[in-house]
Amino acid sequence: MQLTTDHWQYLHNPPVATGILKQHAADFRVTEELGYTLTGEGEHIFVEIEKTNLNTAFVAEALARFCQLPLRQVTYAGRKDKYAVTRQWFGIHVPGKSDYPWQEFALEGAAVLQTKRHNKKLRTGQLKGNLFEITLREVSNPDAVISKLEQAAITGVPNYYGSQRFGIQRIQENGEINRGGNLVMAERMLNGEVIKNRNKRSMALSALRSWLFNEMLSERIEQKRLFTILPGDVINLTGSNSIFVADDDVAALSSRLARQDLSTTIPLWGKGETGSTGQANQLEMALAADYAPVKTFLAGQKLTMERRAAIIWPQQLECHQQGDTLIVRFFLPSGCFATTVLRECLNTTELA
């Protein structure tokens, strides 16, 4: 079974405009927003770091070495792009320890911006979201791209997992896609190969689960049901992890969806029930029917069935044009991909 990615549906017509993404690391900036105030006391030191051309796990390992702690005592809310300039928080569990000489932390491409104590552990997904500042160069039709971005802020875009999850990069200027290493590893696992490296195995599992989510999301778009709330649909309240099941009176919910208050969802496959009922469950079972080997494998990997919003709306959108260069800023909730928003607006060639 080959796990391909180039057939996923667009919400509207595929974009025609082209542009270059990540010509320089500073062309892709990400800043985490925790969404809560640190207490200033407690067993955990939160460290905000700006990193350039470094992956999150590598920085976490460097922090563990500097603090002389096991790696499990260094946590983060989520992985950030390697080929970028990103600001993110790391949590370090050090009960009883006063502090560290952070001015002595030396890692090329990384700098400590601030530190503060907190009384709770920094867990995966525990942040409000990310603010993106993206520079697109050699844009063929800036006005068309701006128009599509403005449309995305109003109507939303499919909440696909981005290419980073699959290890895919556009490595040639003609836009030809190189298949992602994480998906190749996932295929090998499906075929019975045992991947012993824990980190690689985790990345392959994540890629496989995300691929199935994208497949089912694409199918729902193709059926023109992304914005249609069915009785029994699992609904997500925008900007939160709260979900509930829609009853038979979907008119009020549909109005709230139009106001960006809530979204339909798609299963993140694992062990257990999808949570949907009735008509919505019938639709999801039909969408998932062709993926029996993937579903069975994921359910056997100690993954619990979860849900993910099917629609996202870029917030705080700003677009600034300088000739054929566009500087775009917007905010997305935790776990959402800026490249997913860009995908609806232009075809990018990634040079990083």
Distance, in Å, from the CA atom of 10 to the CA atom of 343, rounded to the nearest integer, reads 8
Cα separation, 271 vs 277, whole angstroms: 17
Q: CA 90, CA 179: separation in Å to the nearest integer?
A: 31
71 contacts 60 by C-beta, under 8 angstroms: yes
List of residues 6+ apart from 202 with CB closer than 8 A: none
The answer for residues whose C-beta is within 8 angstroms of residue 302's C-beta and 6 or more apart is: 271
Which one, of 92, 123, 310, lies nearest residue 217 by Cα? 310
Token duo for residue 203: 């990345």
Assigned token pair, 305: 């069935």
Measure the CA angle with vertex 20, ends 14 and 26; round to 5°. Answer: 130
Give the residue ranges of DSSP H helices in the chain. 56-67, 142-155, 163-166, 181-190, 198-222, 251-258, 278-288, 292-299, 338-343
Residue 318 has phi, psi (to 5 degrees) of -135, 135
User: Pick from 220, 46, 193: which is nearest to 116 by CA?
Assistant: 46
Catalytic entry in 27, 81, 247, 324? 81
Please tell me the distance from the alpha carbon of residue 84 to that of residue 52, in angstroms, as a whole number.
6
User: Is 81 noted as a catalytic residue in this protein?
Assistant: yes
- Cβ atoms of 334 and 304 within 8 Å: the answer is no
- How far apart CA 36 and CA 27 sit, in angstroms, is 28
What residues act catalytically?
Answer: 81
